[in-house]
A and B are shown apart, each in its own frame.
Chain A
Amino acid sequence: EAGVAQSPRYKIIEKRQSVAFWCNPISGHATLYWYQQILGQGPKLLIQFQNNGVVDDSQLPKDRFSAERLKGVDSTLKIQPAKLEDSAVYLCASSLEPSGGRLFFGSGTQLSVL
């Protein structure tokens, strides 16, 4: 069974530039999550989709972050403009619904903002 795919693996940009991350969840998983993991901290949920609808985006900085999940499958997370404090690993996860708390994580995209 293929896992959660994310790209790119690494990204380096300068502050005020824009960046986009892509995620392809496990086939058949209704729920998709984007987490932000800052160095030395645990992952923090940015946004949760169920199919192509948003379930929770309470911690998404909406002035600069946006996410979409077209057709309830792939998802993209965008940052525009990036700030230094956005340097982190961005993790995508997916799950069946109900999840039972079992999320399947991708390897993440490591973003460095200079």
Chain B
Amino acid sequence: AQSVTQLGSHVSVSEGALVLLRCNYSSSVPPYLFWYVQYPNQGLQLLLKYTSAATLVKGINGFEAEFKKSETSFHLTKPSAHMSDAAEYFCAVSHRQAGGTSYGKLTFGQGTILTVHP
């Protein structure tokens, strides 16, 4: 079984401040980890993913995340927040299906709404 916990359903930062969105996972097999973002009135889109290569993963719009196995974490960061970063962010976990090539189903966390103040 696999699960994801996102700490904090709402995070508020000032424009230009550090963004830190927390994600902890639970998985009985080596996980694949993802961050998706949902802007208002749009569908979810992939921000970045970890699939057992480099532990520090860079995504779109200046975001990055670091896989820490010892802490079972995959926190999302951005050095300087922009107003356009306001959205809901979802962490998700998956794993390669046995005998297959698919990554199988994604299990999502409950989401963190990021608000950016001027």
Chain B: interface secondary structure? loop
Q: How far is the CA of A102 from the CA of B45 in the complex (A)?
A: 8
A104 and B46 alpha carbons, distance in the complex (Å): 8
User: Which residues does chain A contribute within 8 Å of B32, judged by CB atoms?
Assistant: 101
Instruction: Verify A100–B49 contact, CB threshold 8 A.
Output: yes
Interface size on A, residues (CB 8 A): 28
What number of B residues sit within 8 Å (CB to CB) of A? 26
Cβ A3 vs Cβ B43 within 8 A: yes
Our pick among A41, A98, A101, A106 for the contact of B34 (Cβ within 8 Å) is A101
Q: How far is the CB of A55 from chain B (nearest CB, A)?
A: 7
| Contact residues in A for B90 (Cβ distance below 8 Å) | 42-43
**Across the interface, which residues of B come within 8 angstroms of A99, CB to CB?**
102-103
Q: Which 4 A-B pairs have the closest CB atoms?
A: A42-B108, A105-B43, A98-B101, A105-B44
Residues of B within 8 A of A (CB): 4, 9, 32, 34, 41-46, 49, 51, 90, 92, 94, 101-111
